[in-house]
Amino acid sequence: MTLKPSSVKGPLNGITVIDLTHVLSGPYCTMLLAELGARVIKVEEPEKGDVARQVGPFINGKSAYFATINRGKEGMALDLKQANDRSIFERLLEEADVLVENFTTGVMEKLGYAWEELHARYPGLVFASISGFGRNGPLAETKSNDLIAQSMGGVMSVTGPPGGPPTRVGVAMADMGAGIFAATGIISALYHRSQTGEATRVDISMMDGQVALLEHQMARCAVSGEAPKPMGNKHSSLAPFDVYETADGQFAIAAAGDKNFMEFAAAIDRPDLAKDARFSSIPDRVANTQALDAEIEPIIRSRSTSHWLEVLGGGELRIAPVLNVAEVMDHSQTRARNMVVTADDPDMGELKMPGNPIKITQFPDPLTRKPAPDLGRDTEAVKAELDHQMKENIE
Amino acid sequence: MTLKPSSVKGPLNGITVIDLTHVLSGPYCTMLLAELGARVIKVEEPEKGDVARQVGPFINGKSAYFATINRGKEGMALDLKQANDRSIFERLLEEADVLVENFTTGVMEKLGYAWEELHARYPGLVFASISGFGRNGPLAETKSNDLIAQSMGGVMSVTGPPGGPPTRVGVAMADMGAGIFAATGIISALYHRSQTGEATRVDISMMDGQVALLEHQMARCAVSGEAPKPMGNKHSSLAPFDVYETADGQFAIAAAGDKNFMEFAAAIDRPDLAKDARFSSIPDRVANTQALDAEIEPIIRSRSTSHWLEVLGGGELRIAPVLNVAEVMDHSQTRARNMVVTADDPDMGELKMPGNPIKITQFPDPLTRKPAPDLGRDTEAVKAELDHQMKENIE
């Protein structure tokens, strides 16, 4: 509460976060807090550090993965099993607003840092834990990771080609989902503290975070009595709504409403389709989606993607190319929104990484970030800051 | 700021949100705010209402989809093109803390409710907009939806079977991602307001929200010079890390670290694999993943899923069944975490829906929710509350 604020301007300016997290769910959470103006001090085990430092891709022997998720944070190396380092850590907690950790449930208790103890000693400290399955229930102490949480949370069971196997989302969505929900919980707790003075305990589960995304799949399951299955790029209650193959690629189109479907049918020179009884309403088009595809697929496949984007785009229809990551990074909209930012790493050079999706107009949205810390980079500087602080308090 | 608080206990108690949103990104955002204790008053166009009311699945003619995403909110029907209703809406804004909308960029301006005007008139009001591409850039006014945002944001390009086409995540992840980021931005803005008195403008783009999830894909793209491709359930830098077919189903396993791989090899009666030079380190196993699969797939396929969960589970290995939505809903962990909740709808009966993934121990985590409003259900009650308020202010 009295450490220097972050140099990043944002709504969380003045907040200090002590970050005991590793790999992705926790570091993604604290990265968001740093982007929003909190000062984040990452505390790692000496010598080993966050295991993400060992995960590729590597540039000049350093992990670009670690660097992406930990940009803008400070780094200390402290051994929480060693008395001297514990006292430094506890001095940090005295000055901090938030503690975040994502050890397996039980580890903080063994370290002597259970919520009850921390809350008694640091009554203003918000304490957030992220774990595979949360703090209670039969799986509370079971280890997890992104693949496990995607498998058990239901999203995998509805992702993939129609009739095909369940498919993992190609980004670590269970980790990041938990990280974003954790950030939301932490900021809510800070708001609550601002109103009441009370600090609270946030308990986030990766599996919960996946279940929370079953927006209408639970209802579908309840109504039909059957678990929904993967449907490729299609939608259960809208058509056409799919990715179609062209002569040289593919594009996505949603032309589900009656007016949109008429516009679409006219644009592909098949206005008759909009008058066809099989395709005359949304439910008709969903029921006869195979017949509809049999009519439109050959037409779309006869011309290039750019032809169709021009013919079908620019109006009321929702249509888009399917961009790969290189194309996304180079897209004029991505650039206009500062969604590719860079950090200048002393060993890796200039590294590109995703920007901040939470834009608040009154704050700057810079194109550069401070690089992620090498292990223990800021240990001495933060210790000196704490010492200075202590002297000032005495004087 | 003086309306009655929500009856739901949470960190946002006392906050009132006026909700002009429709379908999913915005309603998912305000659902999260309601779950955290904010009072959410949803304002819909008379007669038509939120188009999600027309999207299935239906129970007794009502949308279970709409009901899931809008539980716990109040509902008013107001015509913002009509003077009398506009004055009611403006009275609401006087009392509110937050306004959220997800019209296409430009619509609020046409209604006379641009940020500049609202901020001048209601200086304490946080105003959040969610749109397909954000408030600036060449695509600012282009229409979008979940499919389009997934197509253009890059996640689709890395999701799907290896060698197969880009595949949409089977839940509306672009909508919900934007909704969660919007909630995070709004709560951050409320925290900032609590510290400084300043109300701010939140600007969320569905495409930005997707780009923000490319956790290490940008780095991979930069390092290799090539856009990453779908890899099914595999991981680019870890192996084994996949879903394997058994005699009667499949399971997910991550046994990537050396110790874990030794344990795994012993448990499937192939301890020799851990000594095989092709599989002796994480990079070796990733480089020779096809050879590794050729060794282990026939073994795993020879026995049932339950056999393998018993033999491989319970220890240090990360292993899980791939649960479908019905199995997720019935799972003991889901139930222990209150992740299936119900609302008692007057027409649909008891409806099951996902619970709140943001657990804060000091607040209750109830198993029931108030049902979503029928169109205009609370118009008169809220108007009466505003009138009463006004009288009290005069007296």
Domain boundaries, chain A: 16-213+339-394, 241-323
Q: Which residues of B touch A68 (CB under 8 A)?
A: 215-216, 218-219
- Tokens (6 digits) for A372: 């992620």
- Tokens (6 digits) for A275: 């008058």
Q: Which residues of B touch A223 (CB under 8 A)?
A: 56-59, 64
Cα–Cα distance measured from residue B31 to residue A214, given in angstroms and rounded to the nearest whole number? 14
Going by their DSSP bridges, the two strands B98-101 and B126-131 should be labelled as parallel
Long-range contacts formed by B283-288: CB under 8 A, 24+ apart:
B285/B239, B285/B240, B285/B256, B285/B261, B286/B236, B286/B237, B286/B238, B286/B239
Residue B395 pLDDT grade (very low, low, confident, very high; cuts 50, 70, 90): low
Residue A395 pLDDT grade (very low, low, confident, very high; cuts 50, 70, 90): low
CA B300 to chain centre: 35
Residue B256 pLDDT grade (very low, low, confident, very high; cuts 50, 70, 90): confident
Weakest mean pLDDT among A15-24, A109-118, B123-132, B255-264: B255-264
Buried b / exposed e across B99-130, counting CB within 10 Å, b at 16+? bbbbbebebbeeeebebeebbeebeebbbbbb
Q: Which residues in chain A (72-111) have CB-CB distances under 8 A to chain B?
A: none
Please state, in angstroms and as integers, the Cα–Cα distance from residue A79 to each residue in A8, A76, A89, A111, following that order: 29, 10, 9, 11
Q: Which residues are B43's β-sheet partners?
A: B76
> Inter-chain contact B167–A167, Cβ cutoff 8 Å?
yes
Is the separation of the CB atoms in B120 and B148 below 8 Å?
A: no
How many A-B residue pairs are in contact by the CB < 8 A criterion? 511
The answer to whether B6 faces chain A, any CB pair under 8 Å, is: no
Tell me the pLDDT of chain A averaged across its residues: 95
Cα–Cα distance measured from residue A273 to residue B316, given in angstroms and rounded to the nearest whole number? 57
pLDDT cut 90: percent of chain B above it: 90
Residue A380 pLDDT grade (very low, low, confident, very high; cuts 50, 70, 90): very high
Residue B55 pLDDT grade (very low, low, confident, very high; cuts 50, 70, 90): confident
Q: What does DSSP assign to residue B149?
A: H
Minimal C-alpha gap between A220 and chain B (Å) = 6
Which of A217, A226, A342, A365 to probe by mutation at the B interface, max B CB count within 10 Å?
A: A217
pLDDT of residue A59: 94
Is the separation of the CB atoms in B200 and B124 below 8 Å?
A: no
Q: Which residues of A touch B195 (CB under 8 A)?
A: 14, 194
- Taking 60 as the threshold, does the pLDDT of residue B74 lie above it? yes
Ramachandran region, residue A236 (left: φ > 0; alpha: ψ -120 to 50; beta: rest): alpha
- Measured between CB atoms, which of A195, A209, A224 is closest to B194? A195
pLDDT of residue A283: 87
Which pLDDT tens digit goes with each residue over A170-214?
Answer: 999 999 999 999 999 999 999 999 999 999 999 999 999 999 999
Minimal C-alpha gap between A84 and chain B (Å) = 31
Please enumerate in sequence order all residues whose Cβ is within 8 A of that of A223, keeping only pairs 6 or more positions apart, or say none.
Answer: B56, B57, B58, B59, B64
Please enumerate in sequence order all residues whose Cβ is within 8 A of that of B275, keeping only pairs 6 or more positions apart, or say none.
Answer: none
Please state, in angstroms and as integers, the Cα–Cα distance from residue B246 to each residue in A246, A339, B235, B307, following that order: 37, 42, 20, 9
Q: What does DSSP assign to residue B155?
A: T
- Taking 80 as the threshold, does the pLDDT of residue B2 lie above it? no
Q: How many CB atoms lie within 10 A of CB A215?
A: 23
The answer to whether A326 faces chain B, any CB pair under 8 Å, is: yes
The answer to whether A300 faces chain B, any CB pair under 8 Å, is: no
Minimal C-alpha gap between A286 and chain B (Å) = 11
- Tokens (6 digits) for A163: 């009739």
The answer to whether A1 faces chain B, any CB pair under 8 Å, is: no
Q: Which residues of A touch B141 (CB under 8 A)?
A: none
The answer to whether A345 faces chain B, any CB pair under 8 Å, is: no
Helix intervals (H) in chain A: 25-35, 64-69, 83-95, 107-110, 115-121, 146-153, 173-196, 206-211, 217-224, 258-267, 282-287, 289-301, 305-312, 325-330, 332-336, 379-394
pLDDT of residue A253: 96
Which of A23, A167, A329 to probe by mutation at the B interface, max B CB count within 10 Å?
A: A167
Angle between helices B173-196 and B146-153 (to 10 degrees): 90
Task: Read off φ and ψ for residue A109, nearest 5 degrees.
Answer: -60, -45
- Measured between CB atoms, which of A64, A181, A184 is closest to B223? A64
> Inter-chain contact A243–B322, Cβ cutoff 8 Å?
no
Q: How many CB atoms lie within 10 A of CB A185?
A: 28
Tell me the pLDDT of chain B averaged across its residues: 95
Which of A104, A263, A325 to probe by mutation at the B interface, max B CB count within 10 Å?
A: A325
- Taking 70 as the threshold, does the pLDDT of residue B173 lie above it? yes
Is the separation of the CB atoms in A156 and B322 below 8 Å?
A: yes
Residue identified by tokens 């079953």 is A214
The answer to whether A267 faces chain B, any CB pair under 8 Å, is: no
> Inter-chain contact A170–B160, Cβ cutoff 8 Å?
yes
The answer to whether B195 faces chain A, any CB pair under 8 Å, is: yes
Q: What is the CATH number of domain A16-213+339-394?
A: 3.40.50.10540
Cα–Cα distance measured from residue B285 to residue B101, given in angstroms and rounded to the nearest whole number? 49
> Which DSSP helix (H) or strand (E) runs through A127?
strand A126-131
> Inter-chain contact A233–B147, Cβ cutoff 8 Å?
yes
The answer to whether B390 faces chain A, any CB pair under 8 Å, is: no
Cα–Cα distance measured from residue A36 to residue B110, given in angstroms and rounded to the nearest whole number? 31
pLDDT of residue B29: 98
The answer to whether B270 faces chain A, any CB pair under 8 Å, is: no
Q: Which amino acid type is present at position B91? A: R
- Taking 80 as the threshold, does the pLDDT of residue B393 lie above it? no
Chain B, nearest residue to A66 by Cα? B216
pLDDT of residue B7: 94
Cα–Cα distance measured from residue B222 to residue B235, given in angstroms and rounded to the nearest whole number? 18
Residues A329-346, mean pLDDT to the nearest whole number: 97
Q: How many CB atoms lie within 10 A of CB A165?
A: 17
B43 closest CA partner among B74, B69, B65: B74
Active-site hit among B119, B192, B216, B235: B235
Q: Which residues in chain B (7-66) have CB-CB distances under 8 A to chain A?
A: 10-14, 24, 28, 32, 36, 55-59, 64-65
> Inter-chain contact B188–A185, Cβ cutoff 8 Å?
no
- Taking 70 as the threshold, does the pLDDT of residue B1 lie above it? no
> Inter-chain contact A147–B332, Cβ cutoff 8 Å?
no
Query: Cis (ω within 30 of 0) for the bond into A364?
Result: no
> Inter-chain contact B339–A213, Cβ cutoff 8 Å?
no
Q: What does DSSP assign to residue B217?
A: H
Instruction: Report CA torsion sign: B90, B94, B96, B97.
Output: positive
Give catalytic status of residue A388 as yes or no: no
Residue identified by tokens 């066809």 is A276
The SS3 call for residue A76 is strand
pLDDT of residue A390: 78
CATH domain B16-213+335-394 topology: Rossmann fold (3.40.50)
Residues B295-301, mean pLDDT to the nearest whole number: 97
pLDDT of residue A74: 98
Residue identified by tokens 């670690």 is A66
Regarding the domain with residue range B241-323, which homologous superfamily does it belong to in the CATH classification? Answer: formyl-coa transferase, domain 3 (3.30.1540.10)
Active-site hit among A119, A192, A235, A307: A235
Which pLDDT tens digit goes with each residue over B149-172?
Answer: 999 999 999 999 998 889 999 999
Q: Which residues are B319's β-sheet partners?
A: B253
Weakest mean pLDDT among B13-22, B48-57, B351-360: B48-57
Residues B52-68, mean pLDDT to the nearest whole number: 93
Which pLDDT tens digit goes with each residue over A126-151?
Answer: 999 999 999 999 999 999 999 999 99
